[in-house]
Amino acid sequence: MAANPFLLAADNSPALLPLLRQNPSMASKQDEHGYSLLHAAASYNHIPLLRSLVNEFNVDVNLKDEDGETCLFVTETVPVATCLVEELRLDTSITNDDGLTAVEKIEEEGDFLEVASYLKSRSGGVTSRPGDFSPITAQSHPPPLPSNITVDVGLMADQQFNDEIQQPDPEFKRRIEELAAKEDFHGEERQRELRALITDAVRGVTAEDRDTRRRLQ
């Protein structure tokens, strides 16, 4: 009697990989319900097998069963979810036939909530859907200014401040130009000064206002 690859995957049997190497097409095989070796490996927490199926046998990590669910929907541990999402690049935005993502289904069923928490942390605490804009959370911060930054004050006024700042403040522009002319402009201290100037501009504080505040302190 031929070995059942799904049972071998569930048991993480050492006989499975040799069997698949003899018949590589079996790696992507699905039963009558769309259940795959990926689903079995994820459900039974067999991370090395997941890696082999995707990396060695080129099984589509987003393979779906008859309900439109990837193996992430049956994942029960955070390490497996981490492997699928961060290493094997599974698409967490895929929805099943009920219109639920993996994290939504896991939360709805109330089991393995640590997996749901991990998945939500990957999307900033907001469940993403295809076509959604990236969520902006309270923890979101703009990246630091690169060392080779160039500042176009007029462009900033037009694109960022719209009608609030129609003309760049001459003193602000002069300070930017002074900083840019310094030999150590790319140094940490000068870059800190540059960020402070830009932050003040975003807040609507002119260079003159800042000097006045410093004299009063």
DSSP string, 12-74: T-TTHHHHHHHSGGGGG-B-TT--BHHHHHHHTT-HHHHHIIIIIT---TT---TTS--GGGG
- What pLDDT shows up at residue 163? 47
Report which DSSP code applies to 84: I
Same domain, 17 and 115: yes
pLDDT at 3 over 50: yes
Domain that holds residue 171: 153-216
Residue 63 lies in a domain: yes
Please indicate, yes or no, whether residues 13 and 101 belong to a single structural domain of this protein: yes
- State whether 12 and 69 are in the same domain: yes
Q: pTM score, two decimals? A: 0.57
Query: Is 139 part of any domain?
Result: no
* Total number of domains in the chain: 2
Q: What pLDDT does 182 receive?
A: 74
| 142 occurs within a structural domain | no
pLDDT, tens only, 34-75: 999 999 999 999 999 999 999 999 999 999 999 999 999 999
Is 138 part of a structural domain of the chain?
A: no
Instruction: Tell whether 106 and 171 lie within a shared domain.
Output: no
Task: Grade residue 200 by pLDDT with cuts at 50, 70 and 90.
Answer: low
* CATH assignment of the domain containing 94: 1.25.40.20
Q: Are residues 12 and 110 in the same domain?
A: yes
Instruction: Report whether pLDDT(93) > 90.
Output: yes
- Within this chain, do residues 96 and 167 fall inside the same structural domain, yes or no? no
Residues 114 and 173 in one domain: no
Residue 132, in any domain of the structure: no
CA distance 60 to 94: 14
What's residue 134's pLDDT? 39
How many CA atoms are closer than 13 Å to the CA of 62, on its beta-carbon side? 9
